[in-house]
Amino acid sequence: MLSSTIMQIRRANRFLFFIFIALSSVAQAQTGTSSPYSRYGIGDLQTFSHARNAGMGGLSFAVREDSVVPDFINFNNPASYTAIKFTSFDAGIMGSYGNLKNSRNNETVTNASVQYFGFGFPVTKWWGGCFGLKPYSSVGYGMSDSSSVSDTLSGTEIPVSNSFTGKGGLNQFYIGSSVQPFKNSISRFRRSEKYKTLIAEKDSAQIKKIERSLRWASGLSFGINSSFLFGTLDRERRIEYNSSSYFDFKQTNSSDLGGFYFNLGAQYSYTFKRGTSLVFGAVFTPNTNIKGSQTTLAERFQKVQTADGGYDNIKDTVKYEKSSPGSVTLPMSFGGGVVYKKAGKWQFGFDYLQQNWSNYQAFGQTDALSDSRRYSGGAEIGIGKDQVLGRGKTVLRLGGYYTQTFLQLKSTQLNDYGLTFGVGFPIARKSSMINLAFEIGERGTTANDLIKEQYVNLRLGFTFNDKWFLKRKYD
């Protein structure tokens, strides 16, 4: 008994060590994008980051755990936590390759980042919990253009270089809980005094009616994620003149944000007689204000060239506002999905998500964003036998998505669409798995001198499961 307890404590220590490493990595690796479109709003949203969901086009709202794959943490709908049967540790990373082009230029960018970690556990048969850390948004861009101004004294045109850079992002630390209030309700009914009375009265019709109602209700789950968003967004604009008669100019805006954020979820699962199941899911996030402070620094300078690249020789400060308090308004969002599946064999489904970004504000300023809508669908199928060499099934995935993004620039709505492919490999035991997902997509357009992004993302996820603190029986 003592040796078993010591072994479980050692397992717990290993999990806590993994959590510490993941926590440190995600907190430090905020920049998960190289897109010029991360300049707007709070940056690129990192919503569908789990490798399993990504392989199915982001399908997640109605996805619940079953025997197709080991337990995983579906943090996109907290109602799914009631399906967690093991203590689960989930972590993932992403690498991306992109091509950016407009009517004049073409550029290649690459990026890599830690995507998420999560720790889920069953509290009881009808109650599940979870906590973790993941990026909420990422800012990472650098771009420039050229123009000219007229010098009224000399009557000549002065070349001007304008550059824009940004980095940072918001992280999301979340604690989630989910309940399935009517699970095992038929067993509880059969132990109740009412059941005994109906048996004594031989009222089988009433018993069937009650059990039918309880069976319908048993598949309902509710969940909530309580999150704390935190991070820094740094943006800089530079204007440099190709003339010693003018001072150059730069302005830096740095925003430190932190506040609580909640999202709600519900799922309903019904299993038919032939073993297939239909699952409905819904999610809702209310309008949220995140408190913060913003520091603005505007300076005039002259660029001094040196052998190692040069430096900015500051001449004077045009504007300095330190830590002006304010808030960022994150919009209400809602979505839903449906999945049809055969436990242990296959599943497919569709999702819809709407986010009302037209209500976005940051420190009293709007950013001309519009409401976004995302349509996605996908499927997965397990291949091979359940017990091949003591391992679980290999899982193949396919999906796609189409998004009307919150970006509407130069009277042009920017769309984002792509195809996804994925595979899951069981490792060590069938309770652990490696998930790979590939995304091939395109965002934006070259019309109206805008930028088109063509990208390939590779996501790698690890799921480890174990049973902790079980009461073992000995003969």
Domain ranges for the chain, please list them. Answer: 2-183+219-466
Which is nearest to 360 in space by CA: 411, 409, 407, 412? 407
Residues whose CB is less than 8 angstroms from the CB of residue 238 and which lie 6 or more positions away in sequence, other chains included: 161, 162, 163, 164, 165, 248, 249, 250
Task: Name beta bridge partners: 301.
Answer: 248, 314
Per-residue pLDDT tens over the stretch 254-286: 999 999 999 999 999 998 888 899 999 999 999
- Which pLDDT score, from 0 to 100, does residue 132 have? 92
Q: CA of 28: how far to CAs of 24, 31, 394, 462, in Å? A: 6, 9, 33, 20
Can you tell me the distance from the alpha carbon of 15 to that of 221, in angstroms, rounded to the nearest whole number? 27
Residues of the chain with pLDDT under 70: 1-32, 66-71, 153-155, 385-392, 428-431, 468-475
Per-residue pLDDT tens over the stretch 331-368: 999 999 999 998 778 999 999 999 999 989 998 888 87
CATH of domain 2-183+219-466: 2.40.160.60
- Which pLDDT score, from 0 to 100, does residue 259 have? 94
- Which pLDDT score, from 0 to 100, does residue 386 have? 54
- Which pLDDT score, from 0 to 100, does residue 31 have? 57
Which is nearest to 25 in space by CA: 129, 112, 140, 120? 112
Separation of CA 185 from chain center: 34
Computed over every residue of the chain, the mean pLDDT equals: 84
- Which pLDDT score, from 0 to 100, does residue 9 have? 44
Can you tell me the distance from the alpha carbon of 195 to that of 188, in angstroms, rounded to the nearest whole number? 10
Residue type, 8: Q
Answer yes or no: are the C-beta atoms of 458 and 437 closer than 8 Å: yes
Answer yes or no: are the C-beta atoms of 26 and 116 closer than 8 Å: yes
Can you tell me the distance from the alpha carbon of 376 to that of 337, in angstroms, rounded to the nearest whole number? 9
Can you tell me the distance from the alpha carbon of 130 to that of 83, in angstroms, rounded to the nearest whole number? 12
Which is nearest to 134 in space by CA: 56, 32, 55? 32
| Three-state DSSP class for residue 198 | helix
